[in-house]
Structure 1
Amino acid sequence: MHPKDLSVHDFTYELPEHKIARYPLAERDSSRLLIYKDGAISESVYRDIHQQLTPGSLLLFNNTRVVEARLLFQKPTGAVVEIFCLEPPPQYADMTTAMTQKGHVTWICLIGGASKWKPGQILEKRMEWNGQEITLYARYLGKEKDSFSIELSWTPDSLTFAEVLHVAGNIPLPPYIKRTVEQTDNERYQTIYANTEGSVAAPTAGLHFTDTLFEQLNRKQIRREYVTLHVGAGTFKPVKSDTMSGHPMHAEFIDVSTHAIECILQYLNKPITVVGTTSLRTVESLYWLGVKIARQPNLPLEDLVVHQWDPYELNGMPVTAKTALESLLQYLHARQLNRIITKTSLLIAPGYTFQIPRALVTNFHQPQSTLLLLVAAFVGPNWRKIYSYALEQDFRFLSYGDGCLLFRP
């Protein structure tokens, strides 16, 4: 069956409200860890995950950093307008370029209270930072299909957009964590290795890792490497269509160095574990980029993207992971590029053939979500057995919850 024909209603389960973790545990690596291997389920905790991994293997992490993407503006009438900054429009080459704009920027946003905001009206927000007054302005430019185009400008104009968000915005906790953001979320809704600003949601599997745990991994000579996928709000977008054919996957920026690609190549014959669904989608996207280049060596860089259905519709002779990654590296070296920055809309669902990872570290995901489809693709029909066990044994679910280490059959 083509994944287009899958019904999301076949990927659901009953998730009681009290199973959703509203707060993280006091210690990151004390969260419980469900282990699924060779059809059997066992339990551990994150601080002991090194005991489950092969010495000399590779762990891949997503080092994106969550930005303070929620902005609240109060009108003179007292009405509040909330602007949720989703992503930059195509006029910016990549996320870093957009985040380092000075003085003004255009952004694609969601608006809470849009009916209270008339086109042309400029909203204003004043605050103080490091002894200087900052004023942020928002101007409504127009409506997109299911979002809005907003121009944000500020004084002093020497500040970058990232700096302004840090002062003016709030961390965007997922909508299912039904509470206001607290000071501790600024630290706990980031991984300890978060490095490149641009996500509106955390790569939550990585929230459990600590410096102490990294020392344990070092002792077992388990190598760590980093890729970047800037998580968009599409990660929370529910599947509303009857079949997956009616669900458009949100395109997200990926940014991977040639050093990281060379590292993955080096470990293809050893177990590769990806931390998080975003890391998994990134490395599998690298494979499909390489497939396109192997078949079209002169493909223009602007056409080198991964579309939602590419894995299921790119016909032709199979390409090995080694050939794909080598082709991608040769392409980048020929253009004197030390990284690939592009977009991926890759949908991983049952029917997908994995090329690179042997194991996946991930949290427990929402019913009828594309992330649950990915898990079902990775472990097969036993995803139900895994989730039923987690519910029966009182594991904590979703972003601030517990997680699992899943080995591919």
Structure 2
Amino acid sequence: MKVKDFDFDLPQEYIAQHPIEKRDESRLLVLDKKTGNIEHRKFKNIIEYLRDGDCLILNNTKVLPARLFGIKENTGGKMEFLLLKRVSEDTWETLVKPGKRAKIGSRFVFGDGELKAEIMGMGEDGSRIVKFEYEGIFEQVLDQLGQMPLPPYITEQLEDKDRYQTVYSKELGSAAAPTAGLHFTQELLKKIEEKGVKIGYVTLHVGLGTFRPVKSDTIEEHHMHSEYYEMSKETAELINRTKENGGRVIAVGTTSCRTLESIADESGNVEAKSGWTDIFIYPGYKFKVLDALITNFHLPQSTLIMLVSALAGKEKVMNAYKIAVEEKYRFFSFGDAMFIK
């Protein structure tokens, strides 16, 4: 299957540069995966499509303010560090720009010296293994000095860091937000539970590989990046019980979806588990546990639009995207949402 089959034209002005004022006032395109029928709603109307006995699975990962700006210790040259993955307590796999200044043994300073770093080795795809030195708790130092690692297509500065976090974010470790969850408010979640919909949480720490383009001509040649996930016993039991009772398992976001499908056995049962997944879901994939999906609008030719196409069919999804462009929906991380039922 060709990667270019998942291309579409998107005017630059439809790429949302900032979140709208109220999270659940974003627009919602509802796609029926059986018929291809499309409805246009507000996100807060999602509750009308959820049923007593369904379960909603959300990714409770929390984004690290993982972009750091510092200087090289001996030259004063300006540097940008982007934390990708924790290797050990104080050591991280990191993207460093400009890379030519980041040789093994090079040292760097951030802020007024509250944080220092040394390049210890080379990682994957040109990344560096970096050891940090600081007093106190690393996460607190990072919160003070770091900026949110917004995707490259967002060029405006984010005024409120919390708007790139879901209201239920808890487990620190992502390099990017699970953006389908950004539309939920605490009030909406409460109303959903009052309707008889059970809510469960998984953790998948989103890596920057989620933004990496597919460089091969065919989908089958592409290898997915690996991301860490966790599912609790409580969530596993909720999912299995929902399936047994005839309810739907609805994932909020492609990250929740990938976690569920990584853990489920062939009969759709899940168990408490943690590990790393590089599952790549594209058309032809048979879903084991997922029934419906809440998601944002994704980049052309991305692995995420391929996942959505696996669930609803490529023709239906590409038609929905064409209509979304015609109707001037807002796209990508801070954009509008889609419910595939």
Aligned match for 1:183, one of 138, 144, 159: 159
Q: Which residue of 2 aligns with 1:34?
A: 29
* 1:405 aligned partner: 339
Distance 2:49 2:179 in 1: 20
CA RMSD of superposed structures (Å): 1.5
Q: Shift of the alpha carbon at 1:348?
A: 0.3
Shift in Å, 1:20: 0.2
Instruction: State how far apart, in whole Å, the 1-side matches of 2:139 and 2:150 are.
Output: 18
Q: Which residue of 2 aligns with 1:250?
A: 225
Question: Is residue 301 of structure 2 the alignment partner of residue 368 of structure 1?
Answer: yes
Distance 2:97 2:171 in 1: 27
Match of 1:197, SS?
Answer: strand
**Residues 55, 222 of structure 1: 8 Å contact kept:** yes
| CA distance in 1: counterparts of 2:126 and 2:316, whole angstroms | 37
- Paired with 2:149 and 2:278, the residues of 1 have a C-alpha distance of 22
Residue 362 of structure 1 and its aligned partner are, at CA, apart by 0.3
Poorly superposed stretches of 4+, deviation over 3 Å: 75-78
Question: Residue deviations 1:51-109, cap 9 Å, x none?
Answer: 111123111100000001111112364531111111123xxxxxxxx5xx3xxx22111
Of the three residues 247, 255, 268, the one matched with 1:278 is 255
Residue 277 of structure 2 aligns with which residue?
344
Please list, as runs of the form range in 1=range in 2, the aligned pairs for 1:313-328 lying within 5 A after superposition: 319-322=266-269, 325=270
Q: Distance in 1 between matches of 2:77 and 2:333?
A: 31
Give SS of 2:114's match. Answer: strand
Q: Does 1:67 align with 2:67?
A: no
**1:223 counterpart = 2:198:** yes
Gaps of at least 5 residues in structure 1 are 1-5, 90-97, 128-133, 292-318, 330-338
Residue 111 of structure 2 aligns to a residue in which SS? Answer: strand
Cα distance in 2, alignment partners of residues 214 and 145 from structure 1: 39
Query: Structure 2 CA distance, aligned partners of 1:126 and 1:152?
Result: 16
C-alpha contact (below 8 Å) 1:138/1:150 kept by paired residues: no
Which deviations, in whole Å up to 9, do the C-alpha atoms of 1:150-175 show, x marking residues without a partner?
Answer: 3332231x32x322221221110011
Structure 2-normalised TM-score?
0.94
SS at match of 1:34: strand
User: How far is 1:369 from its partner?
Assistant: 0.3
Distance 1:13 1:139 in 2: 43
From 123, 126, 134, give the equivalent of 1:144.
Answer: 123
Q: Secondary structure at the match of 2:301?
A: coil
> Are residues 1:121 and 2:54 paired?
no
Aligned ranges for residues 7-86 of structure 1 at < 5 Å? 7-37=2-32, 38-75=35-72, 77-86=75-84
Cα offsets for 1:251-305 (capped at 9, x unmatched): 1000111111011000012112111000111111111xxx4xxxxxxxxxxxxxx
Identity %: 39
2:60–2:171 contact (8 Å) kept in structure 1:
yes
**In structure 2, how many angstroms separate the alpha carbons of the residues matched to 1:164 and 1:351?**
46
Amino acid at match of 2:283: P
Aligned length: 335
| Aligned residues of 2:67 and 2:83 also touching (Cα < 8 A) | yes
- Stretches of structure 2 that go unaligned for 5 or more consecutive residues are none
Q: Provide, for residues 90-132 of structure 1, a one-character-per-residue CA deviation record: whole Å limited to 9, x for no partner.
A: xxxxxxxx5xx3xxx22111111122334322111234xxxxx
The alpha carbon displacement at 1:179 in A equals 2.4
Equivalent-residue separation in structure 1 for 2:206 and 2:102 (angstroms): 28
In structure 1, what is the equivalent of residue 215 of structure 2? 240
What letter matches 1:274 in structure 2?
A
Q: Deviations over 1:194-253 (max 9, x none)?
A: 000000010000000001211221221111110110000110010011122332211100
Matched letter for residue 399 of structure 1: S
SS of residue matched to 1:33: strand
Other-structure match for 1:154: 133
Is the 1:231–1:278 contact (alpha carbons within 8 Å) kept by the matching residues of 2?
Answer: yes
TM-score (ref. length: structure 1)? 0.79
Q: Contact 1:54–1:222 at 8 Å: present in 2 too? A: yes
